[in-house]
Structure 1
Amino acid sequence: MTRHDLSKALRDADLVHDEATLRAAIARVGAEITRVLAGQPAVFLTVMQGALPFAGELATRIDAPLEFDYVHATRFRGGTEGGQLEWLRHPGVPLAGRTVLLVDDILDEGHTLKAIRDHVLAVGAARVLLAVLCEKHHGRTVPGLRSDFCGVVVPDRYVFGYGMDFHEQGRNLPAIYAL
């Protein structure tokens, strides 16, 4: 398989969660967030690029005043193994004293999410709520990091689709697959 052969990856992959399952999970997460926010405003902070599909649908499922912004930090840069964190964009809206809903595609080991959450808290956010489309359950997650809202659980394998990439491809797939 060549590095960028998405069609071969799809043939070799297992379907983990189909589109209907993901849409139902996102609706459930939106309802949970609506209950927790209880009408209070929040900053909806999307982690680029992977969270974009999830965030777009999730935002329409939350009934609370939201101000939107995004952050872009990565350890992967198209690869499959994380390196040093690189900040491409910090949040632009003021976060001090505010509730921040940090939205990402996956909680795997959590190094990037922890760094973003720590930054948001360091600039004075009153609280940070973490919403992820999916989680991997294994023993490698950064201690003390957990999601407040999770759509689905995925196997401890290489997963892609619905925001997660296969060598920068496949983020627009409407389902999640595992190799």
Structure 2
Amino acid sequence: MPADLAHIRQVMAEADCLYTNEQLEAAIHQVAQSINAELAERNPVVFCVMNGGLIFAGKLLPQLDFPLELSYLHATRYRNETTGGELFWKAKPEISFMDRDVLIIDDILDEGHTLAAISDFCKHAGARQVHTVVLIDKTHDRKARPDLKADYVGLPCVDRYIFGYGMDYKGYWRNAPGIYAVKGL
């Protein structure tokens, strides 16, 4: 069923801008510096979590100044909805990471079910160490595990439904040049 584009446009028109493009670029630069300092000698395999991590990865990767192998994986709980369900693998990693460090790039750490499942998958499949980087870490007490934290975080975020910079609202606005919160959500 086609989306109601008038509604999709209205969501953007009414949304609150939480972070501008400039604020996000500065945060990504800081994250890149931390990753460069810690992973430059580790020969990591880097996985971008699709689709949400695509824009963040595209901005982050050119700032990593060491050799790395890049691939992607696609696991989701949302399937273009606004609430998550069971983890669904659309594409598992196709590049070997046995006895290698892995860096997982994702858009957001919300409740953390997806990131935890991907991290566990990589550990059980033979990764030496799994590192995680997220653009946004949503602040609330509903994390999947109390100890679940990303190794590298761009920015914290209030507990609202957000979109932009790779995150979507019903499949739209991943291309928004900032982080926006849906009015009323």
Q: TM-score, normalization: structure 2? A: 0.93
Q: Is 2:127 the counterpart of 1:125?
A: yes
- In the other structure, the counterpart of 1:41 is 43
Counterpart CA distance in 2 for 1:133 and 1:6 is 23
Kept in 2: contact 1:13–1:177 (CA 8 A): yes
Per-residue Cα deviation, 1:83-111 (whole angstroms, up to 9, x for no partner): 11111111011111000000000000000
- In the other structure, the counterpart of 2:27 is 25
In the TM superposition, residue 28 of structure 1 has moved relative to its aligned partner by: 0.6
Query: In structure 1, which of residues 85, 88, 100 is the aligned counterpart of residue 87 of structure 2?
Result: 85
Q: Which runs of 4+ in 1 moved over 6 A?
A: none
Q: Is 2:110 the counterpart of 1:105?
A: no
SS of structure 2 residue aligned to 1:174:
coil
Q: Is 2:149 the counterpart of 1:166?
A: no
Kept in 2: contact 1:46–1:104 (CA 8 A): yes
In the TM superposition, residue 6 of structure 1 has moved relative to its aligned partner by: 2.4
SS of structure 2 residue aligned to 1:60:
helix
Q: Percent identity?
A: 43
Q: Is 2:162 the counterpart of 1:156?
A: no
Q: TM-score, normalization: structure 1? A: 0.96
Count of residues in correspondence between the two structures? 178
Counterpart CA distance in 1 for 2:79 and 2:40 is 37
Any stretches of 5+ residues in structure 2 without a counterpart?
none
CA RMSD across the alignment: 1.1
